Amino acid sequence: MALNIEHEIEVLTKAIEEHGTTNAEGKKSISYGVLFNKTVDTLEALNGTLRAAKRQKKVAFDAELLMMPRDKDVPVVLL
Which sequence spans correspond to the domains of the chain?
2-78
Q: Give the pLDDT score at 66.
A: 96
Q: Give the pLDDT score at 78.
A: 98
How many Cα neighbours within 13 Å face the side chain of 62? 6
Q: Give the pLDDT score at 1.
A: 57
What CATH number should be reported for the domain whose range is 2-78? 1.10.10.1540
Low-confidence ranges of the chain (pLDDT < 70): 1-3
Model pTM score: 0.93
How many other C-beta atoms can be found within 10 angstroms of the C-beta atom of residue 34?
18
